[in-house]
Structure 1
């Protein structure tokens, strides 16, 4: 095991500097080799106000790293005969229903979504108003908390247990891991890292309707050990399916709750996570029987990413850092001609008029609502493999859900039979002011004026 740590003599200095350079309160780092923890260190402040230092025993929010745990539990339930990975799930959608395998791979047809909220009681944005499939299941990749929410509901229905308790009893405890928690807050015991915005403001308890997608908590050591030990739980064929990753770009694929590298360089299996006050990364390097966990308590992922690049670059020379921010849409030249379009956004509260003008310099003018009532906003337009036009503006979609904490608007459209069809997204662009809110997708359609 000594050889694993060769070259890491400067890790303390590097991590301390990364925190200072990027304004991150703390980070916890762990390495597991075979089935044992060989390094566990922490740096900075778990609680800046109380001046409580982070330690290897500090528990961090995991955000979407939770998906790897949920996926393992679904695969285990399949091995136990409680569900069929390829049987469509009844009641999920009105049309063709997705299968668990498709949801695990983010190919179930659901759009992106989150509804973070910070007051106790029911989350005010009803998730069921946004559960509409936006594509036929199995036809394309779209990262979606909605799909993993459905997997959590499926687990609960076939096991009779709420997902947090099931994960703890069937995943973490059999693997000898003790720090796991599930929910808006860690239930304790154990010291927990407070969460901070990119500007250093403390986050309160965060609630959402998609816990199975992002409500996990653990120490970095337990995350690294999970990555190394979880293979014990599954049948060989199911484990092979987990790492059979359909391409999401030329360098990466997404399997059953794991991102897997493709092409040159060492094989890396991973999952990252980020939300308000959380930046997490779990990495497995199978050819070296190693795993790494890097957990930080800031929305800003810059310190996490710098430490992952440094650490994994030493452990797996040739490491490709695309896993840190997977690109699923490559840009291309915008080919839509200048002109004006008008149509509507369909929201749970009704129709919102939308007018778009494509200008000669690839800038786009957007007007929300009735023309007489609202002023247009102009922003640069772009295009990608999926969309003929994408534009983002600081405009407020006039719905109660968007007004809660989603003051920006993104519009993504493609040309179909002399129409522009696609989606309008209400969201909050970062948390240097305020807190992250909801990401709400609505269908929209426009015709030429």
Structure 2
């Protein structure tokens, strides 16, 4: 076993304290199947229950790697064609499963989290529209993975959790895995906490195939190291053929693949309310790593991942796992007024922006009082701005009190999106992320 444990006890204890994270569970798996594990902190503060290597954590978007594996297995069984369009009526040709696996299916970013039992108050189908032609560009979309989960269920006649258990978890000997809004097994579970330490209730969403997995760190590391054994070599090659979406990263079939100098890393991270997880495979070293924490704040996870990977991969940098934020540039639109609307399931919401000097934007939405905020731009957008404005729809009023505008110039219009969202969970639990088309015209 590689020596990555020197000084780890002190480092992790300090990282948890510094970043206000309750606990972390760590596993390193090697080619012979041996796995070393450590756990630090409290899995449940209220009950003074310590984290152990047997503690199960929520995986959030690491679940996508398991859903992608299920889709690939179904395809190998002849039940699904990865390159056949899915059913449905769309503005452009329908996306294929391969495009959905690569986050190139044309669906927008989306999440909806809810904390009471009963029907979900936000209907995901209101946002299940294509925002670009499939195959043309990358956009990380839980909606796409929701569609993939439904496809697996349709062609197998099984619930996705049952298929994952029978075709992946049991064959690989991963006994801790579970799937659902709450962990269905008998092992101890880490209580999830907000960034400021409040315990989360059970979380429900409309896209479980994108984020409803549970496991110990040991089983996540073993999955990363051994799951390729379930697939044919050609499918494995396709899974790790990451289509570039940033300078250092590509996205394959449910795996992020590093590009450029240094050993190739195959990974997937996950984050949502009370969860920050990371799974990494280093094929050149025949070693995999899993780091699971029970806090919305990813800082402790990232600090500990950096410490471990610095020992395993000389020259490691975080850009090999996570895309850097899109670089901002000054907003250069000329002064003037633009009028238009935000398109929602409840109808058109009037929107007016007034571009002022010093890159200030005054925004008026529907009947709300105007708000003036600073604007920037990026490679993709000619105008980017966020403001504490409530989109007046039932969905947004639930728990998404802010609006972000991302717009680009197309001929004589500003075209793009208006997104209702909540900025973190320091005030209440994490909300929804709701993207709406937006068009503005100069008078």
TM-score bucket of the superposed structures, by smaller chain: over 0.9
Q: Does 1:393 align with 2:390?
A: no
Distance in 2 separating the partners of 1:397 and 1:325: 30
SS for the counterpart of 1:412 is: strand
Given that 1:35 and 1:225 are in contact with CA atoms closer than 8 Å, whether structure 2 keeps it comes out as no
**Cα offset for 1:323?**
4.3
Distance in 2 separating the partners of 1:388 and 1:222: 44
Distance in 1 separating the partners of 2:52 and 2:29: 17
Distance in 2 separating the partners of 1:107 and 1:154: 17
Selected match of 1:405 from 390, 399, 404: 399
Unaligned runs of 5+ in 2: none
Given that 1:354 and 1:367 are in contact with CA atoms closer than 8 Å, whether structure 2 keeps it comes out as yes
RMSD of aligned residue pairs (Cα, Å): 1.1
**Cα offset for 1:318?**
1.6
Distance in 1 separating the partners of 2:87 and 2:284: 40
Distance in 1 separating the partners of 2:249 and 2:435: 25
Unaligned runs of 5+ in 1: none
Other-structure match for 1:419: 413
Distance in 1 separating the partners of 2:89 and 2:204: 23
Other-structure match for 2:300: 303
**Cα offset for 1:151?**
0.2
Given that 1:266 and 1:318 are in contact with CA atoms closer than 8 Å, whether structure 2 keeps it comes out as no
Other-structure match for 1:355: 352
Q: Does 1:139 align with 2:136?
A: yes
Selected match of 1:167 from 143, 164, 170: 164
Other-structure match for 1:317: 314
**Cα offset for 1:386?**
1.3
Distance in 1 separating the partners of 2:197 and 2:376: 32
Given that 1:249 and 1:328 are in contact with CA atoms closer than 8 Å, whether structure 2 keeps it comes out as no
Distance in 1 separating the partners of 2:274 and 2:163: 26
Q: Deviations over 1:96-135 (max 9, x none)?
A: 1000100000000000001100000111100111001000
Other-structure match for 2:372: 378
Distance in 2 separating the partners of 1:297 and 1:445: 40
**Cα offset for 1:436?**
0.7
**Cα offset for 1:328?**
6.4
Distance in 2 separating the partners of 1:189 and 1:92: 43
Distance in 2 separating the partners of 1:176 and 1:93: 41
Other-structure match for 2:113: 116
Q: Does 1:434 align with 2:431?
A: no
Distance in 2 separating the partners of 1:247 and 1:335: 29
Matches within 5 A, 1:9-408: 9-91=6-88, 93=90, 95-327=92-324, 329-369=326-366, 373-408=367-402
Q: Deviations over 1:269-288 (max 9, x none)?
A: 10000000000000001100
**Cα offset for 1:413?**
0.5
